[in-house]
Amino acid sequence: QVQLVESGGGLVQAGASLKLSCTASGNIFSINSMAWYRQAPGKERELVASISRSGVTTIDESVKGRLTLTLDNGNKTSDLQMDRLKSEDTGVYYCRSDITIYFLGYYHGRDVWGKGTLVTVFS
């Protein structure tokens, strides 16, 4: 069974930095892509950033210039570095991954979500 676990959330003051991490575990052959979503209070979950296995990143305009996303396939981790945080960055952050597993002699694709980590930015 494949799992994603986020960590690093917390309560921070506006202007501070925070690094979120997502760690994958299980019978993983490769992580093909990793995406981070944010769900603000009372709002829909939205895509913040994504990164492909080759390192190509897509960053939402609302956080462009303040966010760095990395993927380490060897350690099966992804880090989301957020700088100059704003109150509107508040929300639960989820990682989601397109993963290939090797099971009973075959490769299988899996779309896996973590359970989220809460980031609260106060002014």
Q: How confident is residue 24, by pLDDT bands cut at 50, 70 and 90?
A: very high
For residue range 56-112, list pLDDT tens digits in order. Answer: 999 999 899 999 999 999 999 999 999 999 999 999 999 999 999 998 999 999 999
pLDDT at 49: 97
- The pLDDT assigned to 1 comes to 85
pLDDT digits (tens, 9 = 90+) for 32-71: 999 999 999 999 999 999 999 999 999 999 899 999 999 9
Mean pLDDT, the chain, rounded, equals 96
> DSSP of the chain, one letter per residue?
--EEEEE--EEEETT--EEEEEEEESSEEEEEEEEEEEE-TTS-EEEEEEEETT--EEE-TTTTTTEEEEEETTTTEEEEEE-S--GGG-EEEEEEEEEEEEETTEEEEEEEE---EEEEEE-
